[in-house]
Amino acid sequence: MSRKIVSLLLAALLLIGCLPALAEEAVTVVDMHDREITLTEPVTRIVAMQPSDCEILCAIGCEDALVGIGQYCDYPASITSLPVVQSGAETNVEEILALEPQVVLMNDMSQSEEQVKQLEENGVKVVVSKATDIEGVYYAIRMIGALMGKQDAAEAVVADMQATFDDIRAKVQDEGKTVYFEVSPLQYGLWTAGKGTFMDELAGICGLTNAFDDVDDWASISEEQVIARDPDYIVTITMYFGEGPLPVDEILAREGWQDMKAVKNGQVFNASDSNALSRPGPRLKDAAVELYNFVYGEAGEVAPAA
């Protein structure tokens, strides 16, 4: 009798244990192009075209499912040995099909309808990921988490990012200080990141105002305007390739910039070591910490959350 109860209980337990697994079988997500995508099971083979999506996949522990990457995917370094496929307008359908993925994660910027159709006709689902703000990044992380059957890991990554941003927000006060982001250096014509960029949002988190918040997205701007707006901080994302002066030194030495607040006070910072600042992925939190540490110095140092 008691044995019967035990076995019944065991059976019930087993059933309960199986339920989530059963529920996981079918996966439905709404991608960032508002298309509903249904898969019969969580994805085990995936191609990610954008660096940020690769970073998200690795952050939620799905590096093993990644079978192909886009051209500019370089983080974490361990993924760079994966097969590289052409992205954007040159998307090569054959290359992707040869990798036999169930899903391709891509932006919807430059692929043609035909390319997407060709992929879908061959049984590869196309999921669009295109975050343009931090909320969008959270959505992308959760969406990819659902695709891979890793909702919990995705929630943890989002919570970690939110905690870091909240931590910084709690520590800073908006003192009306301004920051100028330099995306392209003077010799190539100045470009900055205006409203609607991650840099603009991160500046807000760190209690700063973007000096060019009247410009949308990335824009080529005039040198005169930078001097006239006289920002308190300058952040450059210019890469250094081991030739000529360091980007920060080059800015400090520019003719006509010597009387700007940021230059006089030496508040010029190069954030190019990690391309986290411009990439809509989990490392935006590292970028926020970097920016915070630069602005508020050692005294208020926040350790990057583990």
Partner 1 sequence: MNDARSLRRERFAPVTYALLTAGLLLTMVLCVCVGSVPITLSDTVTAVWNALWGLPIPQNIAKNIILNVRLPRVLCVALAGASLSLCGAAMQGLLRNPLADGSTIGVSSGAALGAVIAMAAGITLPGSGYGGVMLTAMAFAFGSLVLILSLAYALDRSLATNSIILIGVIFTMFISSIISLVVTFASEHTRSLNFWTLGSFSGVNYDQAKLLGLALLVCGSVILRYSHELNAFAVGEDNARHIGVNVKRVKLIILITISALIGVCVSISGTVSFVGLVMPHIARMLVGPNHRRLLPAALFAGAIFLLLADLAARTLFSPIELSIGVVTSLVGAVAFVIIFYRTRKAG
List contacts with partner 1 (CB under 8 A): 184, 186-190, 212, 214-215, 219-225, 227-228, 230, 239, 241, 243, 255-259
**Calpha distance 50→276 (Å, rounded):** 13
Residue 87 or 129 with smaller CB distance to partner 1: 87
Peptide bond into 76 cis (omega under 30): yes
User: Residue 44 Cβ, how far from partner 1 at the closest point, in Å?
Assistant: 34
User: Residue 255 Cβ, how far from partner 1 at the closest point, in Å?
Assistant: 4
Enumerate residues 6+ apart whose C-beta is below 8 A from 8: none
Phi and psi, residue 74, nearest 5°: -140, 10
Residue 110 or 220 with smaller CB distance to partner 1: 220
Q: Which two tokens stand for residue 241?
A: 């390739």
Residue 18 or 246 with smaller CB distance to partner 1: 246
Chain position carrying tokens 């390739």: 241
**Calpha distance 272→193 (Å, rounded):** 14
Judged by DSSP in three states, 11 sits in helix
User: Residue 219 Cβ, how far from partner 1 at the closest point, in Å?
Assistant: 5
Residue 220 or 265 with smaller CB distance to partner 1: 220
Chain position carrying tokens 């040159």: 90
User: Residue 256 Cβ, how far from partner 1 at the closest point, in Å?
Assistant: 3
User: Residue 214 Cβ, how far from partner 1 at the closest point, in Å?
Assistant: 7
Residue 24 or 214 with smaller CB distance to partner 1: 214
Residue 124 is given by DSSP the state P
User: Rounded to the nearest 5 degrees, what angle is found at the Cα of 217, between the Cα atoms of 75 and 259?
Assistant: 95
